[in-house]
Amino acid sequence: MIGLSKTEAHILRFAISLHNQRGLDNTADLLDFIDARGVVFALSCILDISDKKIRQAFSNKGLLARSGLLRLSSSELEKMRGRLSLMLGLGNLLFVSKTKL
């Protein structure tokens, strides 16, 4: 997928799912308001990827940030969905629900 690392691709798939699947979003809301470090820890656990690789994926050197596909918001109070900011329209473009198949 456009040169993304495996870690970046996993994170992007998760973020797209989070933005498009209400059940997953509701489950992530159980984490309540979460800071950027908490998102890294949660993604590390959920995706079974080291937190170091997650941090690298979100760094300014990572393709997610450089391409604008996904960024990790650093605002004060956000739930997980709000922290993972997808490029406008990307989630709808790439997500195909089972009902559409």
Give the global pTM.
Answer: 0.80
- Average pLDDT of the segment spanning 48-62: 94
Q: Which of 16-20, 62-66, 68-72, 86-90 has the lowest mean pLDDT?
A: 86-90
- The set of residues, in sequence order, having a beta carbon less than 8 Å from that of 24 and lying 6+ positions away, is 17, 18
- Average pLDDT of the segment spanning 12-23: 87
- The CA distance from 70 to 88, in Å, is 10
CB-count exposure of residue 62 (10 Å: 0-12, 13-18, 19+): buried
